[in-house]
A and B are shown apart, each in its own frame.
Chain A
Amino acid sequence: MVYDRVDRVDEHDAALATHWYQLLKNGIHLKQGNPFEEWSADDVELPSSNPAQRHDRNNHRVLGFRPGTSAEYVHCPGILGRGYDGNGLTVDLWWAAETATSGSVLWKVNIERIHATHDIDTNGWSSTPGSVLAATSTKGAGFVQRSRITLTDGTAETDDLAIGEPYRLRVWRDGPDGSDDMAGDADLVRVVLFETPE
């Protein structure tokens, strides 16, 4: 829901309840503005094994995920904002095909919650990743599209992440999966995470 000013308020207005309800919804919208994280290609962390390839494309810094037998990864570090209201998380992946004009990419994400008794020397990725099988843009290679993955609160998808806790969001292309049939790289240009709207 978009924030709505509804700036004409009259105590004797017959539509008073509407105004009140809009105020209420505005508050919800403001609250849902948090948490919010965005990662460009320079913001992500590249793992030591099977990282995506950071490079420039027409002055856009991108992360190239190759097809084939090995999945490739990036890690997006963050902390769950205090405004989180338990509606789950949405991850938007902005990407374009390097050269392909057909086929699909299988994107997956999962969260590692870094809570007070988590050992950072041992990985704790959620065993239930979110995923989306995204077809190449119908307009051709190079055209950006937004592929959306939602993670349900209170399930393994969000790894029971709580307000104020650090986390890593892992993003990968599952090239070995049979459904990922796009030739060439998938160039990731931006990752955005926010609370799923009510």
Chain B
Amino acid sequence: MAFDVTKNVVSGRGTREDDYEQLRANLAHLKTGNPNFTWTPQSNLHLSTSPAGGPTARNDHQVLAFDKDAIEHCFAHGVMPESYAGGDLTVGVFWAAPTLTTGSVVWQTVFLRYEEDVDDLDSDTFGTGVVVADAAPGTAGYVSFHGQLHDSDAERDSLAPGDAFAIRVGRVGSNGSDTLDEDAHLLRVTLRESTPGAVGLYDETDLAAVGGSLRHSHWQQLFDNGQALQSGNPWRDYLEPQIQTPASGGAGRTTRGRHPVLAFDGTTSEVAYIPCAVNSYAGLPNDGSTNGITVDVWWCSASGTTGAVTWRASVELWLRGGFGLDLDSDAFGTSDTETTPTSSGSSGRLKRTRLEIRNTSSRLLEELADGSAFRIKLERLPADAGDTMNGIDAQVARVVVGQQSY
């Protein structure tokens, strides 16, 4: 059932069950449409030992060039939202041939799931790849919109809501079905849930299955479903290339394995800045609780398997009381500080520290709305008594900013 606004809802109307079913279907429709990611060549992660060329400009479109005789890759990245129902995933590959109008390209897409305290930046373990040949458009310069269906758990690398992930997109030029005799230009990669899967947080509460008459619990479930969709979702994840560092006192830029990371010193406090915007804001809870913004820091130790790291995140809104922030002077306000032990398994294993910037006495978060721009300052505090990974860098692979669930 498609999304239907169905505005004419009145008390006492004889078709209340119909209205209920439509509202339920509306939420299910919304859920099916998530996740909804888009990546561009500039957001490519350079993780591969055989990377695609670029990005380079083609008529001012940034493209990645995949060779016809090799196996070359690029990487997209994200975090699965809480609204992911566990269904099949479709990776969209938007590409064009430089000049030719015949021949096919064999694309392979593979998921790489990052699970806290399990996956190791030093040894990536990919899921099962999906390989599909796609014919070049019949006119040079036209773009092929091509979908790769990941319809098994192995092909999704067991992705679940909240998991950070990467998608490796490759051209298998060595495959016999790859017959396009020139580069293939990649313009976009997308990810969406193609069919909803098993019920998780989200519960459709099928009216027909419970006897066909409305009860209090049905409406309550609709509210709960809406909450599950709206709050607790990550707005965006940020990797090293998207995070800004100051010229002095900033975290260093380096790689761990093939992963770009930000290295925060184990002796001197260093900072990084994350440019953010609010997406699908659920508003503050109306029960008076102070839930606000979550900042998940995915990090590992540069070496060793003992000790802990203390992180602090603070927020700077760019519009308060109708007036804008002065770019030339900082205005970071409410913050949170958390300490997390490093992985005891191996130094490359990722830990996730969740910082919660709550709507406390400054009432800072009351001014958030969809589209609000703000900045997060992330600091490591090696002088804090809880930070015992003395003299050893903490390497940040990813920062995820979103709304705290309620």
Contact = CB atoms under 8 A, between A and B. Distances in A.
Interface in A143-168: 143-146, 164, 166, 168
B143 A120 contact: yes
A166 B327 contact: no
A94 B318 contact: yes
Contacts of B329: 58, 142
A114 B26 CA distance: 29
Nearest to A47: B60
A101 to B, nearest CB: 12
A34 B36 contact: yes
Contacts of A6: 223
A79 B38 contact: yes
Contact of A59 (B214, B246, B325): B246
B11 to A, nearest CB: 4
Nearest to B213: A11
B271 to A, nearest CB: 9
Interface in A4-63: 4-7, 9-11, 14, 16-17, 19-21, 23-24, 26-31, 33-38, 40, 42-43, 45, 47-48, 56-62
A72 B370 CA distance: 28
Contacts of A68: none
Contacts of A26: 223, 226, 230
Interface stretch (B202-210, B274-282, B303-311, B354-362): B274-282
A38 B236 contact: yes
Nearest to A12: B216
Contacts, number: 241
A34 B229 CA distance: 12
A60 B223 CA distance: 40
A71 to B, nearest CB: 15
A123 B96 CA distance: 15
B10 A17 contact: yes
A29 B222 CA distance: 14
A105 interface: no
Contact of A142 (B19, B36, B327): B327
Interface in B42-56: 42-43
Contacts of B323: 137, 139, 143
B57 to A, nearest CB: 6
A113 to B, nearest CB: 11
A142 B273 contact: no
Given A33-B370, A142-B326, A40 B242 contact: yes
Interface residues of A, number: 80
A190 B5 contact: no
Contact of B94 (A10, A11, A16, A166): A166
Contacts of A16: 11
B62 A77 contact: yes
| Most chain B beta-carbon contacts within 10 A, residue among A11, A38, A59, A121 | A59
Interface string B295-334: 0000000000000000000000011000111111110000
B123 interface: no
A58 B370 CA distance: 26
Given A24-B23, A43-B43, A57 B328 contact: yes
B280 A33 contact: yes
Nearest to B63: A120
B275 A121 contact: no
Contacts of B61: 45, 77, 120, 168
Nearest to A190: B373
A178 to B, nearest CB: 26
Interface in B213-270: 214-216, 219-220, 222-223, 226-227, 229-230, 236, 241-242, 244, 246-247
A2 B283 contact: yes
Interface in B120-174: 137, 139-143, 145
A118 B373 contact: no
Contacts of B143: 114, 116, 118, 120, 166
A24 B324 contact: no
B200 interface: no
A51 B275 CA distance: 22
Nearest to B13: A17
Interface stretch (B70-78, B187-195, B335-343, B345-353): B187-195
B36 A83 contact: yes
A85 B5 CA distance: 10
Contacts of A17: 9-11
B38 A37 contact: yes
B103 interface: no
Nearest to A34: B36
A56 B230 CA distance: 34
11 contacts: A3-B283, A24-B5, A31-B30, A43-B43, A57-B328, A79-B38, A139-B326, A142-B327, A143-B325, A145-B319, A145-B324
Can you list the 3 inter-chain pairs with the closest CB atoms, starting with the nearest? A33-B280, A144-B324, A119-B141
Given A122-B59, A143-B324, 12 more contacts: A10-B216, A20-B9, A33-B279, A37-B38, A42-B42, A42-B241, A77-B62, A83-B33, A119-B139, A164-B190, A168-B61, A190-B318
